[in-house]
Amino acid sequence: MRVQRQDIIDAAMALLDEGGVDGLTMRRLAGALRIQAPSLYWHFAGKQALLDAMADALLAEMVLPEEEMPWDAWLRAVATEFRRALKSRRDGARVFAGTFPATDNVLRISDHIIARLRAAGADERLAVRTLFTLQYFVLGFTIEEQATMPPPGGQGEGVNLIQVAQRLTAEQAARYPNAAATVRLLASDDDDARFRFGLDRLIDGLKVVIPS
Amino acid sequence: MRVQRQDIIDAAMALLDEGGVDGLTMRRLAGALRIQAPSLYWHFAGKQALLDAMADALLAEMVLPEEEMPWDAWLRAVATEFRRALKSRRDGARVFAGTFPATDNVLRISDHIIARLRAAGADERLAVRTLFTLQYFVLGFTIEEQATMPPPGGQGEGVNLIQVAQRLTAEQAARYPNAAATVRLLASDDDDARFRFGLDRLIDGLKVVIPS
DNA sequence: ACCTGAACACCGTTCAAGT
DNA sequence: ACCTGAACACCGTTCAAGT
């Protein structure tokens, strides 16, 4: 049974959940597929090409919402779904952020979003800028969220916010009381609510420039 | 002349400009300082500790604006200055995004921003969420900006948007016309204007929830 | 207090050769 | 069309030992 391109992507995604991006090596991936590392280079030009394919696969699971709602509600739903797709795999946001893939799923979803915004009355430049502004926020948010999350695989580290707070010296805590409080608050705040907050700010701001 | 901690950070920053994060290795850094790689481990616990120190050093150059202006103008100035600081070194945004440093400069600036927002009438949670929402946008924007920029060192690649556009198959361009137009438009759009657009959306959205 | 030599356990990638 | 063996040119990090 020879290995197909899709088998490699599937195995890479599984390995991602186990060990994160840092644990994903060509040699380990080959091992999981019971082939030798150089064989992977017949299917992919290099590791980056594999990561591009993985980023695309992340978006394959994205389900776009129905059209019958105002553009702002629709956009909110798309952003929420984008975050969900990124979070479906460990380090998903980091994998996606490291790529610039012009692959089918990325193109399909981008195209759809631009079309919806143009239908709402935005010109092309406004639609494109809106798309990217939203993407930057969701990616940045989710990278940090996944960095401070216990990995799905089970054991592992991730940035421990409580530990970060404890490592602050007494001098630092006294000198920067607001910052010290920030770390504590961040550890206890609800991620979904934080996400909604930023998203709502962005969408409220967009309402100022997008008609209809 | 023995090497000091600050010498290492300075050399690492110089090396960053030359070869980007991917070109920054402990062995090369040691070479630039004319010492052996293991010596670095006397000064830093590991490579990540060095990167944390570099992220902090990036912020050391940040100059916070004067207080005598409305909170929204002040916040806009801070975000603009943050982007400038990240862009002062090749891959600066990527270096910063990979860290979660509770170091002096990070604490100092965070503390200052929270204080200013609280003075404008925001409660602690609103201030913290505002800080992070803004940070996610600026980081995401600048990572992408630097990825598609010709590196300051001189030669090198970076993602070439025109090349990306040309690699689109005819089938893709026909199937996803809006997405194809996006890549072309992104290549010709002005980065500063794009940055201002996102920033203004965010700040307009914040005005809805921040009093004064 | 700071640095070295030698070593360990890895990496991504190339390439001639095999089936 | 797909895979292997062997090799190249690297990595980050540890640790005993030196000054």
Residue A156 has pLDDT above 70, yes or no: no
- Asked if B159 and A100 come within 8 Å (Cβ–Cβ), the reply is yes
Smallest CA–CA distance, residue A205 to chain B, in Å, is 4
Residues A51-105: pLDDT tens digits? 999 999 999 989 999 988 999 999 999 999 999 999 999 999 999 999 988 899 9
Residues A171-195: pLDDT tens digits? 999 999 999 998 889 888 999 999 9
Q: What's the confidence (pLDDT) of residue A146?
A: 95
Residues B120-149: pLDDT tens digits? 999 999 999 999 999 999 999 999 999 988
Residue B152 has pLDDT above 90, yes or no: no
Mean pLDDT of chain A: 93
For the segment B166-183, the average pLDDT, to the nearest whole number, is 91
Q: For residue A22, say whether its CB is under 7 Å from any atom of strand D.
A: no
Give A152's pLDDT tier (boundaries 50, 70, 90). Answer: low
> Per-residue DSSP letters for B134-199?
HHHHHHHHHHHHHHTSPPTTSS-----HHHHHHHS-HHHHHH-HHHHHHHHHHHHS-HHHHHHHHH
Q: For residue B136, say whether its CB is under 7 Å from any atom of strand D.
A: no
- Asked if A140 and B136 come within 8 Å (Cβ–Cβ), the reply is yes
**Residue nearest C6 (alpha carbon to C1'):** B38
Share of chain B above pLDDT 90, in %: 79
What the block records as the tokens of B58 is 């990036």
φ, ψ dihedrals at B46, nearest 5°? -175, -175
CB pairs under 8 A between A and B: 175
- Asked if A179 and B140 come within 8 Å (Cβ–Cβ), the reply is no
Q: Are B81 and B65 in contact (CB under 8 A)?
A: yes
φ, ψ dihedrals at B195, nearest 5°? -65, -50
Closest by Cβ to B189, choosing from A125, A202, A208: A125
| Residues ≥6 apart with Cβ < 8 Å to A140 | B97, B135, B136, B137, B139, B140
Q: What's the confidence (pLDDT) of residue B7?
A: 97
Q: What's the confidence (pLDDT) of residue B57?
A: 97
Residues B44-87: pLDDT tens digits? 999 999 999 999 999 998 999 998 899 999 999 999 999 999 99
Q: Are B101 and B56 in contact (CB under 8 A)?
A: yes
pTM: 0.95
Q: For residue B32, say whether its CB is under 7 Å from any atom of strand D.
A: no
Helix ranges, A148-208 (H):
161-167, 170-175, 177-188, 191-207
Within its chain, how far is the Cα of B205 from the centroid?
22
Which residues of chain A have a CB within 8 Å of the CB of B100?
Answer: 147-148, 159, 164
- N-to-C CA span, chain A: 56
- Asked if B201 and A202 come within 8 Å (Cβ–Cβ), the reply is yes
Q: Measuring CA to CA, which residue among B151, B159, B199 is closest to residue B183?
A: B159
Determine the distance between A31 (CA) and D3 (C1') in angstroms: 13
Give B154's pLDDT tier (boundaries 50, 70, 90). Answer: very low
